[in-house]
Structure 1
Amino acid sequence: MPGKYFQYTSLLLSGLLLMAACTKNKDYAIPTPKNELQNDCIKRSLGPNVIGLNIEFAYAMAIPAAKGKLVSAQVEASIAGAAGTYLENNSYYTDGGGIDVGVPIGDPSTTKENLTTVAFTKDTNAATLRYYYKIPEEARGKSVTFTFSAKSSNGETITYAMGPYEVAKMDMQLDLNLTDGKAFYISIADMAVYNAQDAATHADQIDLVYLYRSIPNITFNHSLVSPAADPEYLPGVVLPPNVNRDTKISKVWNLRDFHLARLQYGIYIDDLDFEKLNISDAPDFAINLKSEAGAWVETADGKYRAYIYMNKVDNAKKSAVMSMKRYTLK
């Protein structure tokens, strides 16, 4: 059964590779499969390339059965990926129900510096492998390229270049837990949340205070407030000594960044959004924040801009979960 699948896939893939290169519908004719090793590649991941996330590709290769079989596939990155970079040893096809099904075709991949390789162990004429490049710190603010290649048993080698792809300068932190009166001091510099005791030892890095208040006739609820804001926006809060930064905050609705929200919305905040951001006239508080709302933030020293997304709020527990993207200005 696997032999029939790969032989059929070889013919199909050969035709698809040629069809993909055709840009005109006029005078179209069914392409004749090439009698040689062929390959193609697409980038599957979307949005900005952020440190710690994956850039994902699907790499397809095929050779007519009469010419031989596939021996190996590899990917060379211009900058070595972080731990977790790998080339799958499964070839995928989509079944009648639209489900991706993996068929093992080789040993697990090996990675040495910039090069990731899979050696085939099945008699295979066609395969589509997925490559996951874990973006390393070394790539921050740089561009990265990839060279995919395949070898066949008849000695043929073929390559496919992808990129360059720009890697974002920004940082990201997911799912920080906030609790009113407990874990409620936020540092943009540290991308962390502190209690009152720890905030006192990080006083010069505390940018925001999270609090929940149910006040009659005022829609306060879940709020992010600058330590230097008017005390009426910090009811019942006794700030630790020297926690006094004046942070600009601009509340936003319906900006569900996909990386932060991990919902179905295809919206991405990129470096350019932070570079163009102007909230110089924004207040130093944002009250009544709801689930899936957010806030642009600029620190008092002008070093950082951030977008904070509220993944979840809980009135009964006076708590919230937030995620953050941060951009360093200087």
Structure 2
Amino acid sequence: MLYRNFNFFFLVWVLLTSLTACQEEEYILPEPISQLTNDCLKRTIGPSIASLPIEFAYAMAIPKSQGKLVSAQVEASIPGGTGTYLEHRSYYTNSGGVDIPVTIGSPSTVVDAGKSSKVTFTVDTNAATLRYYYIVPDEAKGQTVSFTFSVNSSDGKTASYKMGPYNISKMSIKKNLTVSNGTNAFISIEDMAIYNATSAAAIPDKIDLVYLYRASPTSFTHGLVSPGADATFLPGVTLPSGLKKSTKLRKVFGLQDRNLANLQFGIYVDDIDLTSVDMTDMPNYAIGLRAEAGVWVETADKKYRAYIYINSVNATGSAVISMLRYTL
């Protein structure tokens, strides 16, 4: 009986302890800012690719009793490409989840050979969040880039915030290229361009693939085929003189790269994907392609690898493609 009572009291003690442990901790209000303060968030995810933007949100605030915001600027370790700028409007999100802009200064000026973007405030304000868009330049490929955000206030104070370094991809990107059966059907990975037969004949060493559409057999439909492939996979095609490259292809489904798919989906192809994909013993043709399919490509000289995404197809014999290219 004593043993049973001991077990009972022990159980009660455990339950009381558990209830105490599960009590919600008291919420402590954050300390209000007492000086010029800043913070920064990188909004862009995925690989940083030349010609595409890296977007940041730069927040700054100062107590009203100490003054107001005067200017803000961003300095990049590598000058940004055309279109790089610091937004002169602050944003807030309304109840519907929509970002609403409020003009707080003059449009940004670019100085120091494109490294710095500066906004001067033209309204009295104590807090703002500015967007910064950095266009990755070609010369940054394979390097790292860092950013220093800073804000100045009317009391003579300065606050700064460093972001990075961020790796810049070695890939190049080209989007929304239209290919059509029998006309603009010749694809160059090196140029990331589409050519007709006349233009292709002038640069045979640059032509890696031929686009064609065949309704029959039904297993063929849309295809990307090497000029050097067996004639079985080039039915009815008369190749321009000199086209003979044998390019390796690997068909894939379910790999809708966000950048190539015009910001749909949440998948990214990165440098490591292009360098690590196994192209051993792959064929020199890919048929039966459809919208949202993709093809890994390795050129005959092994100079380039690419990922070609099929944005859309048309049963009349055309398609829209986008590609990422990596120099080996």
Q: Do they fold alike, i.e. is TM over 0.5?
A: yes
Q: Which residue of the partner structure matches residue 289 of structure 1?
A: 289
Flag the 1:108–1:263 CA change in 2: closer, same or farther, 3 A. Answer: closer
Aligned mates of 1:252, 1:189 — CA distance in 2: 22
- Deviation of 1:28 (Å): 5.2
> SS at the partner of 1:287?
strand
- Deviation of 1:27 (Å): 6.7
Q: Which residue of the partner structure matches residue 160 of structure 2?
A: 159
Q: Which residue of the partner structure matches residue 181 of structure 1?
A: 182
Aligned mates of 1:231, 1:285 — CA distance in 2: 11
Q: Which residue of the partner structure matches residue 11 of structure 2?
A: none
Offset from partner CA, 1:25-52 (integer Å, 9 cap, x none)? 9775212213100000000011100000
Q: Which residue of the partner structure matches residue 274 of structure 1?
A: 274
Aligned mates of 2:118, 2:200 — CA distance in 1: 47
Offset from partner CA, 1:44-79 (integer Å, 9 cap, x none)? 011100000101000000001111000000001001
- Deviation of 1:127 (Å): 0.1
Flag the 1:126–1:269 CA change in 2: closer, same or farther, 3 A. Answer: same
- Deviation of 1:264 (Å): 3.0
Q: Which residue of the partner structure matches residue 118 of structure 2?
A: 117
Q: Which residue of the partner structure matches residue 147 of structure 2?
A: 146
- Deviation of 1:294 (Å): 0.8
> SS at the partner of 2:173?
strand
Q: Which residue of the partner structure matches residue 231 of structure 1?
A: 231
State how 1:315-326 maps to structure 2 within 5 Å. Answer: 315-316=315-316, 318-326=317-325
Aligned mates of 1:122, 1:42 — CA distance in 2: 24
Aligned mates of 2:161, 2:214 — CA distance in 1: 58
Aligned mates of 1:79, 1:71 — CA distance in 2: 26
For the pair shown, the structure with the greater C-alpha radius of gyration is 2
Unaligned runs of 5+ in 2: 1-23
Structure 1 residue runs of 4 or more that deviate by more than 2 Å after TM superposition: 25-28
Identity of aligned residues (%): 57
Aligned mates of 2:163, 2:27 — CA distance in 1: 28
- Deviation of 1:222 (Å): 0.5
Q: Which residue of the partner structure matches residue 131 of structure 1?
A: 132
- Deviation of 1:242 (Å): 1.4
Aligned mates of 2:325, 2:36 — CA distance in 1: 45
Output the amino acid matched with 2:320. V
Q: Which residue of the partner structure matches residue 205 of structure 2?
A: 204
- Deviation of 1:120 (Å): 0.2
Offset from partner CA, 1:95-123 (integer Å, 9 cap, x none)? 11111000000000000121110000000
Q: Which residue of the partner structure matches residue 21 of structure 1?
A: none
Output the amino acid matched with 1:46. I
Aligned-residue RMSD, C-alpha:
1.2
Output the amino acid matched with 1:281. D
Q: Which residue of the partner structure matches residue 86 of structure 1?
A: 85
Out of 279-288 and 66-75, give the one that drifted further. Answer: 279-288
Flag the 1:116–1:173 CA change in 2: closer, same or farther, 3 A. Answer: same
Are 1:39 and 2:30 an aligned pair? no
Aligned mates of 1:190, 1:285 — CA distance in 2: 20
Q: Which residue of the partner structure matches residue 245 of structure 1?
A: 245
- Deviation of 1:303 (Å): 0.4
Q: Which residue of the partner structure matches residue 53 of structure 2?
A: 54
Aligned mates of 2:147, 2:27 — CA distance in 1: 32
Aligned mates of 2:264, 2:257 — CA distance in 1: 10
Aligned mates of 1:75, 1:293 — CA distance in 2: 40
Are 1:169 and 2:199 an aligned pair? no
Aligned mates of 1:51, 1:30 — CA distance in 2: 43
> SS at the partner of 2:273?
helix
Q: Which residue of the partner structure matches residue 305 of structure 1?
A: 305
Output the amino acid matched with 2:92. Y
Aligned mates of 2:184, 2:236 — CA distance in 1: 15
Output the amino acid matched with 1:145. S
- Deviation of 1:296 (Å): 0.3
Aligned mates of 1:276, 1:80 — CA distance in 2: 31
Across the two proteins, how many residue pairs are aligned to each other? 303
Aligned mates of 1:215, 1:118 — CA distance in 2: 60
Output the amino acid matched with 2:108. S
The TM-score with structure 1 as length reference comes to 0.90
